[in-house]
Amino acid sequence: MTNKMPVNDYYYDNIKFILIFIVVLGHYCEKYYQSTLLNSMNVFIYSYHMPLFIFLSGYFSKNIQTQRIHEIKYLLVPYVIIQLLYFVILYITNPDYKWSIMLPIGADWYLLGLFVWRLIAPYFRQMKYPLVYSVLIGLIIGMFPEFNQLFNYQRIFAYLPFFVLGYNFSSDYKEKLLIRKANIYPFIFVFIFMLFIVFAYFRPDFIATLKSIQVPLYPYNGLLIDKIFQLLGRSFFYFLSVALSFMFMQMIPIKKTIYSEAGKNTLYVFLFHMFIIYFLVSIFPYKPLITELIAFPLSMIITLILSNNYIVNILELIIYPWKIKEKFYLRINKLN
C-alpha cells in the first residue's frame, strides 16, 4: 500500500471537513457551558472527534521517516507563531495572564502533538504489539501530574493510541472500516447522541462523570484508589471513542461533495477558529435559546470562512512566513 494519500480521496476530504466543523461546534458549546443542551453536545462531541482526527492523522503519516526537518519547519515553527498570537491577544484582554511557550494555548497543542507522534511512531512499528504499548502509555501517563506542566504531554500521550492505531493500520481504511449495506450504525450513533441529551437534563451527574474521564488533559488525582478508578474511566473513554468513531465514519459521503475542496484546508480552521470564538464569547454572553439556535449555523460560517481558499492564502503566510518571499518571487517571475 502506498504511504501517500490517494489522489482525489474525497472521503478523506469530506470527513476532515465535517470533523473540523464539529471541532468548532464543540469549542463553541464548551464556552457556553451554562446551557444544558450545549454542555451535553460538548461532552458527546469530545467522545470521538479528536480521537478520529488523530487516527486519520496517523493513517496518512506513514511516510514520516524521511520528514524530520520538514516536521520542524511545518509544525514547530507554526506552533511558536500561534503561541505568540495567543499571547498578544490574551495579554491585551488580560494583562495578568501567565503565559509560557511550554504550555500550548487553545488548539495549538495539536501541532506539538503531531510533531511528537510522528517522531516516535516509527519506533512503535518495530514492536510486536504497538497498540498495546501505546494504550499502556496513555493510561499510565495520568499517574504523573508533572507531565501536565510541560508541553501538555499529558494530553499528547493520552491520545497517542489513536495515532499509533492509524499509523499501523495495514489496509485501506475505507475498505476495512466502512459498511454501506444494511448499515444501522448511523441510527445507533444518533440514538446515543439523544441519550446524552436526555441524561444531561435528568442525570447531569452522569454527564459530569463522562466529562471528567473523556478529556485526557488532566492527570489523575486523589488517593491511589481514586486514580485507579480514573484509569479505568480513561480505558472506557478509549472504548467509547473507537465505537463512536466507527459509527460516525459510516455517515460520511464517499463521493465528491460541495465541501470536499474545503476539507483540504482544515488545519487553518483548527488553528484559527478559537480566536473568533474567544472574541464572540467576550462580546456575546449566554442568552437562553438564542445561543443554542445559532450554534450550528455560526459554527458552520466560521468553518466555511476559515477554509475558504482566499482566507487560507492569508493565514498560510502567518504560520509559514517564509512563503511570503516565495510568493513574492513567484509573482515577479510571472510579471517577467
Q: Is 300 exposed, middle or buried (0-12, 13-18, 19+ CB in 10 A)?
A: middle
Give residue 229's domain range: 10-335
pLDDT digits (tens, 9 = 90+) for 133-186: 999 999 999 998 877 777 888 889 999 999 999 999 887 888 888 887 768 999
User: Is position 213 within any domain?
Assistant: yes
Contacting residues for 109 by C-beta, under 8 A, at least 6 apart: 152, 155, 156
d(CA 247, CA 225): 33
Stated pTM of the model: 0.89
**Model confidence pLDDT, tens digit, residues 67-120:** 567 788 888 889 989 988 888 887 777 777 777 777 788 788 899 999 999 989
Number of domains in the chain: 1
Is residue 52, in this structure, part of any structural domain at all? yes
> pLDDT value at position 2?
34
Q: Is residue 30 part of a domain?
A: yes
- The reply to whether 1 falls in a domain is no
